Amino acid sequence: MAQIRQVRCFPVKLRHRDAYLGAPAQEEGYFVRPPWRSLYSARFETLLVSITADDGTTGWGEALAPVAPEVPAAIVEKLLAPVLVGEDPTRIRPLWDKLTGLMRERGHLTGHQADALAAVDIALWDLTGRLTGRSVASLLGGAFRASIPVYVSGLPRPTDAERAELAREWALKGATMVKLHLGHGVEEDLATYDAVAASGLRVAVDAHWVYDVPQAVRLARGLAERGALFLEAPLAPEDVEGHRELVRRADLPIAVGETLRNRYEFAHWLGRRAVGLAQPDVGRTGITELMSIAELAAAHHVRVAPHHSTGLGVALAAGLHVSAALGNLAFFEYQPTTCEAAGAVLTAPLPGDATGFPVPSGPGLGVDVDLGAL
């Protein structure tokens, strides 16, 4: 029986020639991009976690930690690693149950605790795959597809004319779908949609939680009339009832899920029919929990479109393996700039582009972390 010998954390802050979602407001530290309310970094920040068995085999995981990866790293080091050492890493689900119980009564199945759990869980799946010689997709029961369909996320240009030009460039590269990061006002968002849709691409809109219900209804109706792919994150992320009302009044899928960490949160949203397209992020849920979330979504006849924003190569590989194993997959989020940066922590970048991604071949996640680069 294999045993876990060591758990290590690697908070990563990587500068790339382009920042996530375009030019940053400042060169150092964290900042807000109005009208959005969240903190962003000028760098790509993430947490990598390695788990090593007693025979020296190592598996890798990654948490979605776009700011302050030191925080989930401290959770892994102080709370999770001491429990893991000496355990059999192939007992992934029993370990998940044990780890999620450590702080559950204190309300910590969400936030940084969940992010730390996600990184550890991904590393356990990778390690188990390496120990058994099987890919993660195979361990999950087999792949429904060999190639993962994607949409291009973001056209980081300041004007509609420049966004439209970039959309045409993506269309020439074989892209078929694109998502706009907007939230600048209903009329402004619809004007941007019209400019970009002229490229021939199918278009979705991410409103970054900025609207109230009446505004979101107007935007949703305008997008539905135009044949939009989906409307993501239109209302405040805690407003379940507002999203439920919007789903009833909108004639296109309302996408939600990047802020949610576990099956219990998703069960509430799905049970209230407050989401039309589920967007869990494996860097916030882990593989074990994402598969449970996907089954819940399937039971509610909701498709899954895994979220992916600033996660680097390990999270990207995990997202692709999970996507391959989902019967109710819609598509995967392709962040061009993130994917360029993602390979910096790997010995070889993952192949894939706007036309889709092949499922990485095993064992495990099918990627190797470059320790020298770290």
pLDDT at 25 over 70: no
pLDDT value, residue 114? 97
126 and 207 fall within a common domain: no
Q: How many CB atoms lie within 10 A of CB 25?
A: 13
112 and 242 fall within a common domain: no
| 371 located within any domain | no
Each residue's pLDDT tens digit, 209-227 = 999 999 999 999 999 999 9
DSSP 351: P
pLDDT value, residue 47? 98
72 and 151 fall within a common domain: no
Identify the domain containing residue 10 by its residue range. Answer: 4-137
Each residue's pLDDT tens digit, 159-192 = 999 999 999 999 999 999 999 999 999 999 999 9
Element (H, E) at 134: none
Alpha-carbon dihedral 331, 267, 258, 195, rounded to 10 degrees: 60
| 370 located within any domain | no
95 and 217 fall within a common domain: no
Give me the CATH number covering residue 327.
Answer: 3.20.20.120
> Strand pairing of 254-256 and 277-278?
parallel
DSSP track, 135-151 = BHHHHTT--S-SEE-EE
pLDDT at 28 over 80: no
Q: Can you say whether residue 352 is alpha, beta or left, with left for phi > 0 and alpha for psi between -120 and 50 degrees?
A: left
236 and 343 fall within a common domain: yes
E strands, the chain, in order: 4-14, 30-32, 39-41, 44-53, 58-63, 147-148, 150-153, 177-181, 202-206, 231-232, 254-256, 277-278, 303-304, 332-334, 357-358
50 and 149 fall within a common domain: no
pLDDT value, residue 21? 77
Which residue among 106, 137, 168 closes a domain?
A: 137
Each residue's pLDDT tens digit, 50-95 = 999 999 999 999 999 999 999 999 999 999 999 999 999 999 999 9
pLDDT value, residue 33? 86
pLDDT value, residue 26? 66
pTM higher than 0.85, yes or no? yes
| 372 located within any domain | no
DSSP track, 200-226 = S-EEEEE-TT---HHHHHHHHHHHHHT
17 and 163 fall within a common domain: no
Just list the catalytic residues: 208, 307
| 185 located within any domain | yes
113 and 228 fall within a common domain: no
If one counts the domains in the chain, the total is: 2
